[in-house]
Structure 1
Amino acid sequence: MGAVATQDSPTNPGATEPLAGDGIVGVLHRPARTPIATAVLTHGAGGNHDGLLLRQLGDTLSARGVLVARIDLPYRQKRPKGPPSPSGSARDRDGIARACVLLRAMGTGPLIVGGHSYGGRQASMVVADDASVADGLLLTSYPLHPPGKPDRLRVEHLPRITRPVVVVHGPSDPFATTDELAAAVALIPAPTTVVEITGTGHDLRPDRKPTAELTAEAVLSHLVGRRTD
């Protein structure tokens, strides 16, 4: 599957267009050929769908044949700045699930869901609760615990994840050390791959590191090429 996915050059990411409807706001990256897979990606607590990492992932994955939607979570649609409220996390998860339903209808091949930090955590909870939502999970900079509070682990749902997972990690991330992340990943019963972006922290430095390229390679090898029914 990976060999097929690299036929298109990463410099030819295809077209983008606005994505809106049914409470979904974002941007769609259409590959230049029939999609081999579909992905729904969302942002961290302080960001939106237009963050650099999400834009680069959209371009890089679509250049390799993946139909990609990068979306704003419901809390971000309500206000342009500020963190999410814990009371609204269920609505954010519902927004992710609805986007997956929409992209299932639009795309072909396996569907990957995930995102950066908070967005990835919410996506992982969606998949833990209902594995039929997606065929694979992508987590960039999973926020394992608040910075400086390693006793407040966010791992309760991890043993219920049954879809393959790719985790992209910066070793200087204050939300999870490499050892802490390894212990958390061990709780996931599904096949899980960790991609370490050396010399980075929570933001994964997509402006200076090949973060998008390494992430796309892992997605194609471990999620698109390894589907569970």
Structure 2
Amino acid sequence: MTDNLLLAEPGNPPLATLLLAHGAGAPMDSPFMEQLSAALCERGIRVVRFEFPYMAARREDGRKRPPNPLPALQQCLREQAASMSGPWLVGGKSMGGRVASLLVDELGVLGLVCYGYPFHPPGKPEKTRTAHLEALATPALVVQGTRDPFGRPEEVSGYRLADSLQVHWLESGDHDFKPLKASGRTQALLIEEAAEATLAFVQGVISKS
């Protein structure tokens, strides 16, 4: 770990770099973020992880805090983005993906990748967080479990989303890509599928850039 950054470097020159933000409740080195970063790195994608101020403070003193106000989260991401170079994308898990999606057109990156996008709070489908996604100009990929309480297929299919945004559904996955045991699949398999979908997306945006 360097300051509040974690790097996952492929063995060969990377296709591109993904600046990846964590979700509201788990840090940049959570098991999910570790597994996802490793799977992306194996596919030639360099991953840069960082922590928002509230999570960095929790790491120092162990006290849980709510996320910073949205403007502070956005400013933190802008500051991280300022140090990026070469072909790169931005994205995040849940809340981190939402913050990235609000800035992506401003940042001028190759693309946006969100893992478990919070289309609405659980149990409150009427409180959508999709208005800015209707006019998104940057190519975007959302990787979402079909059982995700933040947005299931039957809900997302009814949203007006930009043509630049595509959704890859992970069958039986929840918000952390954990499937039902009856599905015969595992979280590890769904994370690998998410990484494979990301690779295809990255290759696609690079070919068009």
TM-score by length of 2: 0.86
Q: Which whole-Å CA distance do the structure 2 matches of 1:202 and 1:35 have between them?
A: 28
Could you tell me how far 1:131 is from its partner in structure 2?
A: 4.5
Verify the 8 A CA contact 2:22 2:95 in the aligned structure 1: yes
Verify the 8 A CA contact 1:112 1:137 in the aligned structure 2: yes
Q: Which whole-Å CA distance do the structure 1 matches of 2:18 and 2:189 have between them?
A: 20
Q: Percent identity?
A: 34
Equivalence map 1:66-215=2 (5 Å): 66-80=45-59, 81-85=64-68, 88-104=69-85, 108=86, 110-128=87-105, 130-132=106-108, 134-184=109-159, 186-190=160-164, 192-205=165-178, 208-215=187-194
Quote the residue 1:31 is aligned against. 10
Q: Which whole-Å CA distance do the structure 2 matches of 1:36 and 1:183 have between them?
A: 34
Verify the 8 A CA contact 2:148 2:174 in the aligned structure 1: yes
Q: Which whole-Å CA distance do the structure 1 matches of 2:101 and 2:66 have between them?
A: 19
Verify the 8 A CA contact 2:9 2:46 in the aligned structure 1: yes
Q: Which whole-Å CA distance do the structure 2 matches of 1:127 and 1:90 have between them?
A: 14
Show structure 1 runs of 4+ deviating over 6 A: none
TM-score by length of 1: 0.79
**Which digits, 9 at most, give the CA deviation of each residue in 1:4-53, with x for residues without a partner?**
xxxxxxxxxxxxxx233xxxx12101111111110111111111101222
Q: Which whole-Å CA distance do the structure 2 matches of 1:204 and 1:163 have between them?
A: 25
Could you tell me how far 1:111 is from its partner in structure 2?
A: 1.0
Verify the 8 A CA contact 1:131 1:162 in the aligned structure 2: no
Could you tell me how far 1:204 is from its partner in structure 2?
A: 0.9
Q: 1:189 to 1:32 in 2, by over 3 A?
A: same
The number of residue pairs the alignment matches comes to 198
RMSD (Å) for aligned C-alpha atoms? 2.0
Verify the 8 A CA contact 1:60 1:213 in the aligned structure 2: yes
Name structure 1 gaps, 5 residues minimum. 1-17
Quote the residue 1:14 is aligned against. none
Q: Which whole-Å CA distance do the structure 2 matches of 1:90 and 1:39 have between them?
A: 22
Name structure 2 gaps, 5 residues minimum. 180-185
Verify the 8 A CA contact 1:37 1:224 in the aligned structure 2: no
